[in-house]
Structure 1
Amino acid sequence: MKQLPHFLCIGAQKAGTSWLFEQLRQHPDIWLPPVKELHYFDHLFCQSTRSWSRWHIKQCISNVLRNYANNTKQLDFSYVRYLTDIASEPMFSEVWYEAIFQRPGAQGKIIGDITPKYCAIGPEGIRYVKQLLGPVKLIWIIRDPVARALSQLRMETEKRRMKSEISVAEWLELAASDDVLCRGAYLDYIPQWLAEFDKDAILFIPFKHIATQPKQVLTTVEAFIGVSHYEHYSAPEKKS
């Protein structure tokens, strides 16, 4: 029987999803893929993703392989092959996505995919999520749209500065881009998801709670996705 995600974290970018990924991957009853942000659904349904999604996967897998080689005394070559397959064509097919979750370590565990761009995949994409994954649980971290956009702008500006100096005109163009503006468009996206999923299938988490009550956030997520409480998360107070 195929193993597929039981839950998705669909948003928002720059709203603590990296923190959630790092915490949940420590839980013994949860399995997450080696790459945060697989971008499968948004690659299919958001044209803007397609210009960089392959590069993203290859770069992430390269980093995972490097860390694995540097920190493992005896390499598991089946795992190395599994990682290289993720970064190999054909990518972003249904077969490719399903294969990512067919790992022995995922058997009997609650499986997740944390990709905040999924919130923007639109009605057709949402219907496909429901068709492929069935009664999947959805986690959505909500952050003030202005603060979220400013955080994304800082991240994108730093990325561009690594290549060259960014001009004022380029910064203004970036600030007005759909990729920055749309990710905080909750009034547009939330009704689209509620049209296909019952409200009880979506857990909305205020971003500020990650800073003020991180342990309670994790307890809430555990109950929502159906795993037992875990007491030994490392650095739950740190958000990223």
Structure 2
Amino acid sequence: MNNYPDFIIIGAMKCATSTLHEQLAVQPGIFMSDLKEPNFFSDDDHYTKGIEWYLSHFKSAKPNDLCGESSTHYTKLPTYPETIERIAKYLPDVKLIYVMRHPIDRLKSQYIHEWSQKVISVEINQAIHQYPELIDYSRYSMQLKPYFETFGKERILPVFFERMLTHPQEELERVCRFIGYQGKAIWNSELDAQNVSSERMRKNELRDFFVEAPGFKQLRRWFIPKSFRNWVRSLWTLKKKPQLDWQQREYLKTIFDEDLAVLGSWLGIELSCDNFKATIQTSPMEWVDLSKQHQFTSYE
């Protein structure tokens, strides 16, 4: 009998979903897919492999394990428009975890990632106009709205990156209660942090071949001085953190404040770019009774 996932971390990209994935994976009785991002329900090339291919990533789970996976492509509208319909088809009762972060910080982290992958080569102030996904993936209420309409708010847990950094044990316990975990969850502080995009190196096939070649790592350490290795690394690394011009930051704040106002109404708080980090630190955030709220804001 195939194991179906009980829960999915659906995003957002660059919000420490890898860290949460790894923390859940070390809890006894929780099985996380070895392929951290199957992206089955989002990516057409994976979806055409069929549900059995997807379920094969959970075949090593024990009978009573809670099973989960983490695919940030699942909250990348409008890039992957069929994701939610596909999840609902195969996993109508699945629980969903959505991790959020200050929208501008998340955007900047994604920019660094896309730069390292050679998807983006222009500087950030130009990129935000040339690559709309940088903004779209930080519009959290836009990404959540169709999930609410399909699954209901009770099956979606809001988690915030900044609070997970300062209250890791409390947030892990909260996630585990949500997925129905009966064990005692313990945050493993020895796990390496997964969210290291600020140190990403630009993709290069020739360099990557030599870096990954068996035995070459040790040879580098033996024969190449560390100072020289660091200099070479610097040639492929983003020299400084991307800086937004004041005008572009205000442009982004206008967009994100509108989105955060909707998100805040769902959480029963006032939320904006300016108060985001302080506000989400006050207590764990939960959805208020949406039936008492005004109708969802529509997005054209």
Q: What's the TM-score, normalizing by structure 2?
A: 0.57
Higher relative contact order (CA 8 A, sep 6+): 1
- The equivalent residue for 1:152 is 110
Cα drift, residue 10 of structure 1: 0.5
In the alignment, the residues of structure 2 paired with residue 170 and residue 127 of structure 1 have an alpha-carbon distance, to the nearest angstrom, of: 33
Would you say the 8 A contact 1:211–1:237 is kept in 2? no
Which digits, 9 at most, give the CA deviation of each residue in 1:126-147, with x for residues without a partner?
Answer: 1321220121000001112211
Q: 1:168 to 1:238 in 2, by over 3 A?
A: closer
2:233 is the alignment partner of 1:233 = no
2:146 is the alignment partner of 1:192 = yes
In the alignment, the residues of structure 1 paired with residue 144 and residue 175 of structure 2 have an alpha-carbon distance, to the nearest angstrom, of: 19
Structural mapping, 1:173-212, within 5 Å: 173=127, 176-212=130-166
In the alignment, the residues of structure 2 paired with residue 167 and residue 99 of structure 1 have an alpha-carbon distance, to the nearest angstrom, of: 37
Cα drift, residue 110 of structure 1: 0.4
2:49 is the alignment partner of 1:98 = no
Would you say the 8 A contact 1:153–1:175 is kept in 2? no
Which digits, 9 at most, give the CA deviation of each residue in 1:101-122, with x for residues without a partner?
Answer: 222x342100001011101366
In the alignment, the residues of structure 1 paired with residue 187 and residue 111 of structure 2 have an alpha-carbon distance, to the nearest angstrom, of: 34
Cα drift, residue 234 of structure 1: 3.9
Q: Which of 63, 66, 73 is residue 110 of structure 1 equivalent to? A: 66
Q: 1:131 to 1:234 in 2, by over 3 A?
A: same
Structural mapping, 1:13-92, within 5 Å: 13-44=13-44, 92=49
Q: 1:173 to 1:237 in 2, by over 3 A?
A: closer
Cα drift, residue 202 of structure 1: 0.5
Q: 1:158 to 1:129 in 2, by over 3 A?
A: same
- The equivalent residue for 2:298 is none
Which digits, 9 at most, give the CA deviation of each residue in 1:147-193, with x for residues without a partner?
Answer: 101011112222339xxxx7537983476324323211223221110
Of 166-175 and 229-238, deviating more is 166-175
2:94 is the alignment partner of 1:136 = yes
Would you say the 8 A contact 1:214–1:237 is kept in 2? no
Amino acid at match of 2:43: H
- Number of residue pairs matched by the alignment: 192
- The equivalent residue for 1:120 is 76
Structure 1: unaligned runs, 5 residues or longer = 45-49, 55-89
Structure 2: unaligned runs, 5 residues or longer = 196-300
In the alignment, the residues of structure 1 paired with residue 131 and residue 7 of structure 2 have an alpha-carbon distance, to the nearest angstrom, of: 29
Q: What's the TM-score, normalizing by structure 1?
A: 0.71
Would you say the 8 A contact 1:4–1:98 is kept in 2? yes
In the alignment, the residues of structure 2 paired with residue 19 and residue 204 of structure 1 have an alpha-carbon distance, to the nearest angstrom, of: 16
In the alignment, the residues of structure 2 paired with residue 4 and residue 237 of structure 1 have an alpha-carbon distance, to the nearest angstrom, of: 28
Q: 1:214 to 1:94 in 2, by over 3 A?
A: same
In the alignment, the residues of structure 2 paired with residue 144 and residue 27 of structure 1 have an alpha-carbon distance, to the nearest angstrom, of: 28
Query: Computing the radius of gyration over CA atoms, which structure comes out larger, 1 or 2?
Result: 2
Whichever structure has more helix as a proportion of its residues is: 1
In the alignment, the residues of structure 2 paired with residue 41 and residue 136 of structure 1 have an alpha-carbon distance, to the nearest angstrom, of: 13
Matched residue SS, 1:8: strand
In the alignment, the residues of structure 2 paired with residue 232 and residue 16 of structure 1 have an alpha-carbon distance, to the nearest angstrom, of: 14
Amino acid at match of 1:143: R
In the alignment, the residues of structure 1 paired with residue 117 and residue 76 of structure 2 have an alpha-carbon distance, to the nearest angstrom, of: 22
In the alignment, the residues of structure 2 paired with residue 123 and residue 195 of structure 1 have an alpha-carbon distance, to the nearest angstrom, of: 15
- The equivalent residue for 2:202 is none
